[in-house]
Amino acid sequence: MQKKLLTLAVAGALAAPGLAQAQVEVYGFVNMSIGQVKYSEPTQTGALIGVGSVSKMDVMSHASNYGVRGRENLGGGLTAWFQIEQNAPIERSNNVAITPGSRNSAVGLQGGWGNVFIGQWTTPWADLDALWGVGTVGGLGPITSIIGRRETTGTAPNPNCVNGHNSPTPGTCDAVEAGGGIGHAFWRRASQSVFYQSPVFNGIQVKLMYQTNEGKSSTTNGGTIVSDASMYSTSVQWAGFGGRARIGAGFDSHKEFTSSAGSDNGFRVTGGWNFGMVDVGFAWEQMTYKSQTSDCEAEQMGIGVAIPVGQGAIRGSYAIAKDISGTFGTAAAAAGSFGPTTCGAAATATFNPSDNGAKTWNIGYEHRFSKRTSVGIGYAAVENDPAAVFTWTGLPPTQTGGGPGLPGFSVANTPLPGSDPSVFFLNMVHRF
């Protein structure tokens, strides 16, 4: 894929003889869909009694972005590089303020020993999605809805936190998560971090990341530090047989992100095999969230397939999020540290809060006109349990419309508990 290169004559512009010229690459990714979106009726209980289904048309933007990046050869096999990337929220109802560097943005040095950089980037955990995510057309698949998404679906946070990240009190969430910031959820990119990526040796690559404890609080009058959150993410992956086989494993540890009781941990395995006639990917992951009295356990798994057809492929996926198990304990709940007493519950709901799993599936066809442009058509659906609120990132139409919504429930794109979102869509992707 050709890139547009802007040659910056640094030496001439600064009138400083001896300075080398630098080249900066402008790049981007536009991923848009138009579709018929339907929300089934939610769980009929409490304030949700009488709320019906709704169907509406919408234009959706799936992580469209643009940025600049550049490299400079320093000699001796050493290269300096940078990248600054931000969202391109093209669809107006999702047109939030554009913040430069809001996506993968960093500066680093690369050599025969590997790549070291600092800034904000996707974690080694999240990078493993590339090994198995072959079954999605556009942006409507399990990687943007269920896999890795226990902490945030719309505005729903970590199951141990008060809904909407609105309570930074000690024992609930650290300041970053409580403020809706970047760095907590397993799938999110991590900010204020240092990264290392090893060279690929015999198909094996190791990735490491450490997020600093920038949000560490000062001591209280009693000399106690109330928050000291940090995290690290690691992965190892292998590709072989000409790239047809791939597998990777990742481990994350998020210190004091849920509570001061300890670290939230996650482990995952992803991979796949391209048989030629069909490419198959799989993922399995488990997260453990710490509360003051017990652990909350979450488990997700999924499979994706791609079948080449002409210049395109038929793509499909299926994934399951099991019910989150465990309890917070009545002492913590009574103290206001957490919303409900059962993991994964909705704080204002009156239904069984432990019934919080979901299933999702999608199928479609994607036609590649070139390396830069593709068009696809498909159908995707999420089947939420009575207390679950899973949906896809980048699906902006709210279930309750633009009004005040229902008391106690979000008006963002999080579905009402138990409602099943689905969409027939036409998608176009263009890279530059």
For residue range 328-349, list pLDDT tens digits in order.
443 333 333 333 445 554 433 3
Spacing of C-alpha 232 from chain mean position: 16
pLDDT value of residue 292: 59
Q: Which domain holds residue 213?
A: 4-431
Average pLDDT, whole number, for the chain? 78
Tell me: pLDDT of 166 over 60.
no
Residue 259, domain CATH = 2.40.160.10
**Domains contained in the chain, number:** 1
- Nearest CA to 118 among 38, 196, 47, 44? 196
Q: Residue 251's pLDDT band (boundaries 50, 70, 90)? A: very high
Tell me: pLDDT of 175 over 50.
no
Tell me: pLDDT of 162 over 50.
no
Amino acid, single-letter form, for residue 56: K
The segment with the largest mean pLDDT, out of 86-95, 145-154, 297-306, is 297-306
Q: Contact at 8 Å (CB) between 120 and 82? A: no
| Residues 421-432, mean pLDDT to the nearest whole number | 96
Q: Residue 136's pLDDT band (boundaries 50, 70, 90)? A: very high
pLDDT value of residue 33: 93
For residue range 272-313, list pLDDT tens digits in order.
999 999 999 999 999 887 765 667 788 999 999 999 999 999
pLDDT value of residue 7: 42
pLDDT value of residue 353: 53
Rounded to two decimals, what is the model's pTM?
Answer: 0.83
| Residues 36-44, mean pLDDT to the nearest whole number | 92
